[in-house]
Amino acid sequence: MIPALTIILSFQLIGEVASRGLGLPLPGPVVGLVLLVLCCVLRPELAEKLRGVAQGLLGHLSLFFVPAGVGVIAHLPTLAQHGIGLALALVGSTVLAIAAGALTFAAVARMTGAGDE
């Protein structure tokens, strides 16, 4: 378990260093995750080594929302000041994401001929 966690956290660190060092517009953990996925694709034995720890982390994913909840409480004045705009942005982006997914699905279904029975 410790070696697998060390690998995962090392990729996060590498991503953070790369993101800051190269001035990338992506957060370091995202860069690290992309690198980790690429390494798992190139070396499937790495993916097998990380599988148990990754499933354990995903099983307790709700624990990762506690810091986000604390952050919301810490920024309640900002939320009160800009709450309507944030809510509109959240709802609008959700609707647009669902619409984009549905339109993409419909386009792919048309291109592949699915449902033409």
- pLDDT, mean over the chain: 90
Q: What is the pLDDT of residue 90?
A: 94
Q: What is the pLDDT of residue 63?
A: 79
Q: Which two tokens stand for residue 69?
A: 């909840």
State how far the Cα of 104 lies from the Cα of 110, in Å rounded to an integer. Answer: 10
Same domain, residue pair 33 and 12: yes
2 and 55 both lie in a single domain? yes
Cα gap 50→40, rounded to integer Å: 9
- Residue 52 CA: distances (Å) to CA of 6, 48, 79, 91, 106: 14, 8, 38, 36, 36
* 58-110 confidence digits (pLDDT tens): 888 887 777 778 888 888 898 889 989 999 999 999 999 999 999 999 999 99
Q: Do residues 84 and 100 share a domain?
A: yes
- Of 59, 81, 106, the residue that ends a domain is 59
My answer on whether 52 and 74 are in the same domain is: no
The pLDDT of residue 46 is 94
pLDDT at site 81:
93
Q: Residue 42's domain spans which residues?
A: 1-59
